[in-house]
């Protein structure tokens, strides 16, 4: 039953939620020199609670371009989470470009923000209290909503880089959010795939996938009343993990009430599982959400996708545009379940 992931042979698997294909090849996991080493044990203990050189630490507000939003606190330093402009933005509200006859140059219009997740320099999402993680997730949603409503914005992507190998340029806990005046390629492809699937089957492909995973259970990490945590059938990365709302919802911007708070608790627990199972690896996570033109799409379903940096890609991945995952999703899910 290779299609259900019970065999150990190399398999070609398709992600039903996006149409993308991946090669799952567990036999390649033993290749010499391929794994990406984890951070040294105890490295987090070397991080101070306050860094005089860090612009995100309290008291360094003069080093910030501005403070766009802030959740206050009665305790010093008076805030628990804040949003600030990125000093080195990938897109800019003032972006302009001269006309080009080839049609190959255009303005990189948009907004690029940093969400500083806590005043302490040495903390992380896994060590935040219930109140603190709730404030972070509420700020994620609030900035997502705000930016999606700005004139000329077509898409919003929220992401987090953890660890140097994950691309984090600052140790201080933070996430980033980029709002663009265009629809990025993967976002557009997801909308096209979801729309075509719904037109053919009358259902959302992600809703179908959630039902499939809950029936077979082998890749489910946590079955929460509001969210399903799973290692996807066609995972592109070892220990790739998705957090998906069980209720059909195209946009993260629509999250409200207790589900927002519960999402924070589930995310913290999921990242803690990964930290325990793989010794705090570098990772990236991203919220895949509908672009502005598909906020009511019956074929789109938002999710948070965690991609640990545990292996290094090679020439095939570059040439084929297809990932090779040297780890069985079923095995990874079992290890994550056992971690807590």
CA distances from 307 to 2, 294, 310, 315 (A): 24, 25, 9, 20
Biggest CA–CA distance in the chain, Å, is 61
**Which tens digits make up the pLDDT trace of 136-164?**
999 999 999 999 999 999 999 999 999 98
Contact 230, 242 (CB under 8 A): yes
151, 180, 209: which is the final residue of a domain? 180
For residue 217, what is the enclosing H or E element?
Answer: none
Q: What is the DSSP string of 153-169?
A: --EEEEEEEESGGGT-S
Among candidates 35, 123, 124, 122, which has minimal Cα distance to 309? 35
Helix (H, G, I), strand (E, B) or coil at 211: helix
Instruction: List 159's β-bridge partners, or say none.
Output: 176, 286
In a domain, 189, yes or no: yes
Helices (H), the chain: 130-148, 185-201, 205-216, 257-278, 315-320, 329-339
180, 215, 241: which is the final residue of a domain? 180
Q: What is the DSSP string of 289-300?
A: ---GGGTT-TT-
Look at residue 32 and tell me whether its pLDDT is greater than 50. Answer: no
Distance CA 133, CA 144 (A): 17
Distance CA 268, CA 278 (A): 15
Query: Is the domain of 223 the same as that of 325?
Result: yes
Among candidates 253, 246, 252, which has minimal Cα distance to 224? 246
Query: Is the domain of 70 the same as that of 171?
Result: yes
Domain that holds residue 148: 43-98+105-180
Q: What is the pTM of this model?
A: 0.92
Contact 227, 266 (CB under 8 A): yes
**Confidence band for 34, pLDDT divided at 50, 70 and 90:** very low
In a domain, 303, yes or no: yes
Rg (CA), the chain: 20
Distance CA 140, CA 145 (A): 9
Contacts of 183 (CB under 8 A, 6+ apart): 154, 155, 191, 291, 293
* Number of compact structural domains in the chain: 2
Q: Would you say how long the chain is, in residues? A: 340
In a domain, 10, yes or no: no
Read off the pLDDT of each residue in 26-53 and give the average, rounded to a whole number. 66
**Which tens digits make up the pLDDT trace of 268-327?**
999 999 999 999 999 999 999 999 999 999 999 999 999 999 988 889 999 999 999 999
**Which tens digits make up the pLDDT trace of 107-124?**
899 999 999 999 999 999
**Any idea what DSSP says for residue 40?**
P
CATH code of 247's domain = 3.30.428.10
Contact 327, 278 (CB under 8 A): no
């Amino acid at each position: 039953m290779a299609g259900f992931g019970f065999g150990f042979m190399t398999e070609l698997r398709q992600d039903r939620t996006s149409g993308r294909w991946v090669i799952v090849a567990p036999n390649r996991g033993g290749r010499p020199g391929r794994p990406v080493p984890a951070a040294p044990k105890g490295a987090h203990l070397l991080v101070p609670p306050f860094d005089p050189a860090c612009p995100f630490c309290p008291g360094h507000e003069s080093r910030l371009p501005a403070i766009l939003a802030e959740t206050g606190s009665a305790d010093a330093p008076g805030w628990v989470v804040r949003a600030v402009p990125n000093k080195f933005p990938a897109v800019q509200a003032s972006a302009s470009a001269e006309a080009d006859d080839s049609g190959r140059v255009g303005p990189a219009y948009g907004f690029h923000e940093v969400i500083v997740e806590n005043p302490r320099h040495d903390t992380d999402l896994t060590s935040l209290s219930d109140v603190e993680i709730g404030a972070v997730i509420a700020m994620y949603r609030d900035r997502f909503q705000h930016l999606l409503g700005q004139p000329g914005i077509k898409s919003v992507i929220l992401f987090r880089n953890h660890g140097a190998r994950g691309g984090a340029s600052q140790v201080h806990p933070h996430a980033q959010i980029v709002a663009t005046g265009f629809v990025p390629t993967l976002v557009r492809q997801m909308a096209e795939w979801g729309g075509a699937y719904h037109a053919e089957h009358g259902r959302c492909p992600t809703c179908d996938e959630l039902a499939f995973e809950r029936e077979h259970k082998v890749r489910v990490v946590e079955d929460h009343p509001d969210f399903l945590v799973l290692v996807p059938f066609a995972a592109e990365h070892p220990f790739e993990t998705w957090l998906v709302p069980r209720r059909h919802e195209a946009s993260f911007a629509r999250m409200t009430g207790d589900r927002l708070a519960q999402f924070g608790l589930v995310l913290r627990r999921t990242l803690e599982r990964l930290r325990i199972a793989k010794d705090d690896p570098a990772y990236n996570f991203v919220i895949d959400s509908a672009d502005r033109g598909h906020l009511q799409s019956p074929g789109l379903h938002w999710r948070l996708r965690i991609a640990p940096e545990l292996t290094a890609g090679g020439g095939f991945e570059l040439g084929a545009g297809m990932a090779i995952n040297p780890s069985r999703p079923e095995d990874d899910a079992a290890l994550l379940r056992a971690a807590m």
